[in-house]
Structure 1
Amino acid sequence: MRNRYQRGERRSNFSRFPNKKKNNAQYAWSEKDLVKSIEYSKKNRRFEPETNYTPVSCFDDLPINRQLKINIKNKGFKTATPIQDQAIPHILEGKDLIGIANTGTGKTAAFLIPLLDKTSKDRNQKVLIVAPTRELAEQISNDMKALSQNMHIYSALIIGGTSMFKQIHDLKRDPEIVIGTPGRLKDLVNKKILDLSQYNNVVLDETDRMVDIGFVNEIKFFISLLPKQRQSLFFSATVSKKVQDILAAFVHDPITVSVKKHDTCANIYQDIVRVSKNQRKVDTLIQLLTQKEFNKVIVFGNTKWGIQKLTDELIHNGLRADAIHGDKRQNQRQSILQKFKRSEISVLLATDVAARGLDISDVSHVINYELPMSYNDYVHRIGRTGRADKNGIALTFVSDFN
């Protein structure tokens, strides 16, 4: 059978790269590694359909604040995901926790729900949540606001690209919850505006990504300033040697919850799009994006300039597209993301600045227009589809070589 996306046979579900080489906690790899891996997984793995998880308890059974239960229902949560079902009871008991889970598994609510309950019952409880990217920090902040409606719990969002003056003002209001990225948090700690010794509940979210980006020293700096008596919650999709070193200093006698079956989500169908030398790569992309089933697509590239140029060409060809990357102001990026969520645009182009933290429902396809720099980056990119136990499709463009 011919590949319905482009020339050659259909190739799917690769999650192993036989020629991976270690490089700064990531992996160097090539197109040839990718194709070999697809062939391997084609022989050894099958696409796994959606499976239903039966939680041990429902949200109504949890011993949590009544208003919080109402907010959970209003948020549309009907049943707990595996990470929520297994992590929330331990967090409610005050235990340190290591949560190993792929993106899109509902882990944000897994720590927000018990921490909001804890804060509502004891106003001396203060929460610090550290995330690798602005987008993820903003998503956590939005989820926190939705889950804390009418609970009189206040928060501050501390991220780069926005006014530090406003953030200083927000911190002076003594919020119960602070959510931020390492760079801006460190700036405010150094200015003596943020005192980390006050925070007796701390979450490190997507720690592997913080390590990949280069925030190891910042994380260790934060840990050194935290009170010894605290509840520490750690979430990551992968655990490298550097991540293990952070774990050793961060958590005490932790409970480990792992709901991660594979390095890549089993409910994401993975395929390649082969492009020959005499083809224009962008023409192949346009042919795909004009197909009906490509209704909500994220396209990843490696450079800001390249992504913007590609966006302009897609728009010129009549596609509803826009891009987020480091050259766009934070308010511009937020506006574009909202348009994508509301389906006002159908194609979102992004650099890896957006590979983490985007929580957008019903993304039909992720397209790697350019090969990611590492296997970890690949995993995090494709995790934008197939979220919350839904199926998704991830396509990667490669050269057509022999």
Structure 2
Amino acid sequence: MNYRKKWNETKKSSRRSKPKKLFGDDHSIFVKKAVPVSIQEYKPKHLFTDFGLHKSLLNCIYDHGFTQPSPIQDKTIPHILKGEDIIGLANTGTGKTAAFLLPLIHKAIRNIRTKKNFSTLIVAPTRELAIQINDELQKLTTPSMRIFSTTCVGGSSMKRQIVRLEKYPNHFVIGTPGRLVDLVHKKKLKLSEAKHVVLDEVDRMLDMGFIDDITFLIDQLATQRQSLFFSATMDKKLEPISDSFLKNPVKVVIKSNSASDNVDQSVVKIFGTNTKIRALQDLLEDDRFKKVLIFTATKIQTDRLKQDLCDKGYNAECIHSDKDLRERRQALESFKKDQCRILVATDVAARGLDVDDISHVINYDLPNNYDDYIHRIGRTGRAGKTGIALTFIQIGILPKSDNDLTHTNYL
């Protein structure tokens, strides 16, 4: 395929450019004062009633307290209802999920009444995000609508997923690339039947190495379909995918503050490896560390740190890709509901993590690159609040006494 050639050319070009590695003695990159930008009230061009959405769907919208469309909803819903392809560039937390779910639910309800087949495929980079999308779908529908969904992700029973796929005709299939590819190979999922296809957080999917899976899935799709493409950014590495996936798309860009604007960033200087956990304990003794997300470099380190914290009396959970779906959901729910104060995670496991009230992000281990750093600290400082991010820096010289253990003042 032509887009595979374009993707390979893009990869070669990106290799020539110098990556933004976080090495060296200059740690100023991790130190920055939050500069929150005042949020200006958005005046939408439309009300939800202006879109012509089904009455039962409107009732669900208002029952959940939504009073007016967000910018991404205001600008994309009319085009999706018309059947146009979309490039939507917006960050997490902008109402992006509802922007594509609302018009697709409306179309599903309408097609039930006309007894037409309807199938929607939504592809997300992680299990957690796929589950969140399905949860949002359940929130916006009622049993009387007779709209069904199957979440096709790894870490849960493929057999159960196949049973649901075969049972329900009016269907939303929400999945991760790897599991969807497996189902296609087993001939349990016919992507050519999908009338509407959503690729969500495409930039993250490519960062996580799903290019081959995505191109395979695109190959299986019918020519006549509506395609919706959502990403936080749009650069050259995404062009081969968007060019092959979309036809004359409408581009909607929602400008928002940088993920780091609402985050106070500081470093914690660590002298030697044995003092690292002690420095973390010192921080966690402060009552201001109410809900803490800690990033580690490896799955093994995630398990070890979580266990160390539990052994020292802290209420902690952890998530990484080796945890099964049930364990990850339980850990996330416990964190969201304040049943545990600390969540230890790897970068991949935290993709799509949507928790508004995280007080602190701690980079216990350095991320691989600056983009991952920004993604990590963007988990705090949300919903108009100021968050705090602390990055542990190994100095490598053991202090003469415990009193020599220092860190920058945190806020």
TM-score (norm 2): 0.85
Sort the Cα spacing of 1:241 and 1:278 in 2 relative to 1 into closer, same or farther, 3 A. Answer: closer
1:32 aligns with 2:32: no
Conserved 8 A contact 1:154-1:176: yes
State the alpha-carbon separation in 2 of the partners of residues 252 and 234 from structure 1. 11
Q: CA deviation at 1:293?
A: 2.1
- Whether contact under 8 Å (2:273, 2:394) holds in the other structure is no
Between structure 1 and structure 2, the one with the greater Rg is: 2
Cα 1:389–1:25, aligned 2, differ >3 Å: closer, same or farther?
farther
How big is the shift at 1:145?
0.9
**Regions of 4+ moved over 4 Å:** 21-26
1:122 alignment counterpart? 111
* Shift in CA distance, 310/198, structure 1 to aligned 2, threshold 3 Å: same
* CA gap 1:118/1:25 in 2 versus in 1, 3 angstroms: farther
Matches within 5 A, 1:294-305: 294-305=289-300
1:76–1:303 distance in 2 versus 1, CA, 3 Å: farther
* Match among 155, 158, 170 for residue 161 of structure 1: 155
Q: CA RMSD in A?
A: 2.5
Contact 1:320 1:346 in 2 (8 A): yes
- Check conservation: 1:97, 1:234, Cα contact below 8 A: yes
Instruction: Pick closer, same or farther for the CA change 1:79–1:298 going to 2, 3 Å.
Output: farther
Distance 1:326 1:236 in 2: 23
Output aligned runs, 1:35-184, within 5 Å.
35-38=27-30, 47-56=35-44, 57-123=46-112, 124-150=117-143, 151-173=145-167, 174-184=169-179
Report the Cα distance in structure 2 between the residues aligned to 1:345 and 1:227, rounded to whole angstroms.
46
In 1: Cα distance, 2:331 partner to 2:18 partner: 30
Is 1:220 aligned with 2:208? Answer: no
For 1:104 and 1:257, the matched residues in 2 are separated by 16
Counterpart AA for 1:244: E
Question: Which residue identity lines up with residue 120 of structure 2 in the other structure?
Answer: V
CA distance in 2 between partners of 1:26 and 1:163 (Å): 42
Judged with a 3 Å threshold, the aligned counterparts in structure 2 of structure 1 residues 105 and 354 are, in CA distance, closer, same or farther, namely farther
Q: Determine if the alignment matches structure 1 residue 259 to structure 2 residue 254.
A: yes
Q: 1:275 aligns with which of 259, 263, 270?
A: 270
In 2, Cα distance between equivalents of 1:100 and 1:379? 17
Could you tell me how far 1:24 is from its partner in structure 2? 9.9
**Residue pair 2:295, 2:363 contacting (<8 A) in 1 also:** yes
Cα separation, partners in 2 of 1:90 and 1:265, compared to 1, 3 Å? farther
Contact 1:50 1:391 in 2 (8 A): no
Q: Which amino acid aligns with 2:122?
A: I
**Matched residues in 2 for 1:290 and 1:82: separation?**
41
1:26 Cα offset (Å): 10
Distance (Å, rounded) in 2 between the aligned partners of 1:260 and 1:270: 23
**SS of the residue aligned with 2:151?**
strand
The DSSP-based 3-state class of the residue aligned with 2:174 is strand
Whole-angstrom distance in 2 between the partners of 1:344 and 1:180: 28
Q: Counterparts of 2:110 and 2:28 in 1: how far apart (Å)?
A: 55
Distance 1:338 1:318 in 2: 20
The 5 Å alignment of 1:274-293 reads 274-277=269-272, 280-293=275-288
Amino acid at match of 1:47: V
Deviation at 1:122, TM superposition (A): 1.7
- Tell me which amino acid in the other structure corresponds to 2:264: Y
Task: Please tell me whether residue 396 in structure 1 is matched to residue 378 in structure 2.
Answer: no
2:348 aligns with 353
Asked whether the 8 Å contact 2:321–2:349 carries over to 1, the reply is: no
Please tell me the residue identity of whatever aligns with 2:118. Answer: Q
Which range moves more in the overlay, 101-110 or 135-144? Answer: 101-110
* Contact 2:124-2:176 at 8 Å conserved across structures: yes
Alpha-carbon distance between aligned partners in 2 of 1:183 and 1:392, rounded to the nearest angstrom: 34
1:229 matched to 2:224? The reply is yes
Displacement of 1:186 in angstroms is 0.6
* Cα-to-partner distance string for 1:81-104 (whole Å, 9 max, x where unaligned): 332232223222222111112222
In the superposition, the TM-score normalised over structure 1's length comes to 0.86
Q: Which moved more, 1:378-387 or 1:313-322?
A: 378-387
1:308–1:80 Cα change, 3 Å: same
Post-superposition offset of 1:147: 0.9
Equivalent position SS for 1:352: coil
Residue 160 of structure 1 contacts residue 184 of structure 1 at CA under 8 Å; is this kept in 2? yes
The more displaced of 72-81 and 308-317 is: 72-81
Aligned mates of 2:121, 2:253 — CA distance in 1: 23
Q: Is the 8 A contact 2:118 2:170 kept in 1?
A: no
Instruction: Mark the CA change 1:166 to 1:220 in structure 2 (over 3 Å): closer, same or farther.
Output: same
Stretches of structure 2 lacking an aligned partner (at least 5 in a row) = 1-12, 398-411
Preserved contact between residue 293 and residue 358 of structure 2 (Cα < 8 Å):
yes
Q: How does 1:334-345 map to 2 (within 5 A)?
A: 334-345=329-340
Measured after TM superposition, the shift of residue 396 of structure 1 is 1.9
CA separation of 1:351 and 1:217: change in aligned 2, threshold 3 A: same
Structure 2 letter corresponding to 1:323: C
Instruction: Report what 1:319 is aligned to.
Output: 314
Q: Which amino acid aligns with 1:211?
A: L
More displaced 10-residue stretch of structure 1: 27-36 or 250-259: 27-36
**Distance in 1 of aligned mates of 2:389 and 2:14:** 24
| Aligned counterparts of 1:213 and 1:187: Cα–Cα separation in 2 | 18
